[in-house]
Structure 1
């Protein structure tokens, strides 16, 4: 099946095809260049705040604070305070442990080391 198209439309479509081919070549070159750049190392985190853990685990900060308070995850109180209460800090190792093993049994005294 052959369509007879107006000459100006044929010229436009031919130019469009050329432009698309040029863009494809440029994108391919950019892609190759980006693949050649080594990835920047991500600095290892030693600890996370309650809000950061909540975001990473798709939980509410209240839930993570309660886990800390009930000893369901290992956490420590930081020297930093907000509203008279020390803030919790959760280690990167504990985050990995939680991801592999889940919550610990409730043990309210686990994180209350003075």
Structure 2
């Protein structure tokens, strides 16, 4: 390889690295506030989705505080397909 080819490849690598740095970091778990922001819904609505099973979520206990957390895969499912339908049980 000659010097211009190396410089060209280096420039491409730097451009790709800059693009990667600018992308949002993917989280493993999202809070109800995060999911509300992503879906454009109120945080109360997202908490209700979790409580009613419309969203697969886990309850995280931190001292006296209990908060829902939603996996990245579930967030992607919600963004693509919406929350599951509400099933009323007698």
Q: TM-score over 0.5 for the alignment? A: yes
State the TM-score bracket (shorter-chain normalisation): 0.5 to 0.7
Residues 71 and 105, structure 1, Cα contact 8 Å, conserved in 2: no
Q: Which residue of 1 aligns with 2:46?
A: 64
Please report the RMSD computed on the Cα atoms of aligned residues, expressed in angstroms: 2.4
Largest Rg, 1 or 2: 1
For residues 38 and 72 of structure 1, what CA distance do their matches in structure 2 show? 38
Q: For CA contacts below 8 A with separation 6 or more, give which structure has more relative contact order.
A: 2
Structure 2 unaligned regions, length at least 5: 1-13
What is the distance in 1 between the residues matched to 2:41 and 2:57? 16
Q: 1:74 aligns with which of 44, 52, 56?
A: 56
TM-score (norm 1): 0.54
Q: Does structure 1 residue 48 correspond to structure 2 residue 30?
A: yes
Where in structure 1 do 4 or more consecutive aligned residues deviate above 6 Å?
A: none
Alignment coverage as a number of residue pairs: 72
